[in-house]
Amino acid sequence: MKKSFYDRCYSSLKKVPKGHVTTYKALAESIHSKAVRAVGTAMKRNKNAPKVPCHRVVRSDGTIGEYAFGKLKKIALLKKEGIEIEGGKVKNLKKYLYKFKSR
C-alpha cells in the first residue's frame, strides 16, 4: 500500500535527530516533492508530536515558523535540544541543518 503524502513527510522527519533542524523545502525534497506549503500543512496536522518532531522544521531563512502549540513552545523545545535561537531565528542554521541522504 502506498503511503500518503503526510505519512511520507512524517517518516522522513523522524530521521532528523535531536539537536538538528530541517526546512520545509528540504523535507519536501527528501520525499521527492516540490509541495513545500503542503509540508507545512502536514506539520500543522501532525497528531503525533513530539514522536513526529514537527518542532524541528523551520523556514529556509532559519525563521522559526509556526507551531501548533505556539512559537514560544517551539523555541523552548529547540533550545532544550541545544539549538541556539536568536531573534526568532535559528542562529547559524548551517550548523544545525540536517542533511537527508539521497536514495
Alpha helices in the chain (DSSP H): 5-13, 24-30, 36-44, 71-80, 93-96
For cell 532544550, name the residue: 80
User: Is residue 54 flagged as an active site residue?
Assistant: yes
Catalytic residue of the set 31, 54, 77, 90: 54
DSSP 69: T
Catalytic residues: 54
